[in-house]
Amino acid sequence: MKKLLVTLSLVFGFISGSVFAAPALIPTPPQLSASSYILMDAYTGDVLVEHNADEALPPASLTKLMTAYIVEYELARGNLSLEDKVTVSENAWRMEGSRMFIREGTQVSIEDLLRGIIIQSGNDASVAAAEYIAGSESAFADLMNQHAKLLGMTNTNFVNSTGFPAENHYSSAHDIAKISRATIVQFPENYTMYAEKEFTYNDIRQPNRNRLLWRDKTVDGLKTGHTEAAGYCLAASAVRNGTRLITVVMGTKSDEARAAEAQKLLDFGFRYYETRKLYSRGQVVNNARVWGGSQSSVKVGFAEDVLVTMPRQQGDAMSATLDMQPEIVAPIAIGDVLGKIVVGSEAGVLLERPVVALEAVEEGGFFKRMFDKIKLFFMNLF
């Protein structure tokens, strides 16, 4: 396979020569007083710190992250609107625990229910939304598990929309980070709700239980949870200088502890790691030779931005090897994978990404195809 060795600058573009900074020195991550926890880069999905992160545990109201995600999913597809009116059932009205205080028989907008789920952690709001979307809470739970499977949540099973204690209802810190990431990345237009500090409904004002929203101006979400079995749980996200991190802590001893422990992980992550963009969507990294085409080359690049999580002290340059297919033959469609780029060194590969055709190339005429076949034949002899 043909290889093109280039060196890229993480500040943007290519530079000549290979420059590596001294190895980054990163201390041992903080040890938290929690049953399980994780720290993830929201943009790349890379896990920076974890402890028992795949252990199945009661998720309490962190469950509502999936309930809200499905509402947002249906909104994005036009199946719901924020103005839709939901008639509150007796079942929703009778829900115990944290509530939005909706009343049986009244109509509540999807927008208010979404705030009731996210800010007030309303069990009643969650059930009302679940019944409206799927007909019943049990049917909605089935929908939740289908979404969980699509998101790669491999240690999760939902049996209700609230996180109310129930047999066989569980998730993990890693899976909660995955649904948090999906919420942030897929539905940014709704994500602003997760930063709202209070919501008033029926003249009842309730604060967001996420203490970090008051303590750290860079925190803008996501959700708290608490039951006797689950302990105190928190999924939080913050963004600083273009880097966004997600932390999930489960099984802490108090409301104060979950905030303090989550803050430790966030501060550690931002101090020692950052997200950098190596390449932009549509950026051309090679003009590859095309055989038998209406043109002799094709622009090769990336279908999406290429981001990497790396230590802050890593330096500004590293090697990147571009491996192209040895023979690229027309026809070529936009998006066809034509090779890959490997960033890093033999001592440690940071990432691998496919490179794709950024333009279509049709087959050339008869004589062009025949001429290229003959040329390829003789080239392969030597």
> Which of the residues are catalytic?
61, 64, 121
Alpha-carbon separation of residue 173 from 9, 40, 61, 182, 381 (angstroms): 35, 10, 13, 14, 57
Q: Exposure pattern of 188-215 as b/e (b: 16+ CB <10 Å)? A: eebbebbbeeebebeeeebebbbbbbee
Tell the burial category of 241 from Cβ atoms under 10 Å away from its Cβ (0-12, 13-18, 19+).
exposed
Q: Which tokens hold the place of 277? A: 């963009």
Residue keyed to tokens 């990431």: 181
Residue among 361, 193, 218, 366 nearest 290 (CA): 361
Q: For residues 124 and 96, give the distance between their C-alpha atoms in angstroms, rounded to a whole number.
A: 8
DSSP string spanning 217-241? TTEEEEEEEEETTTEEEEEEEEEET
Q: List the helix and strand counts (H, then E) for the chain.
A: 10, 17
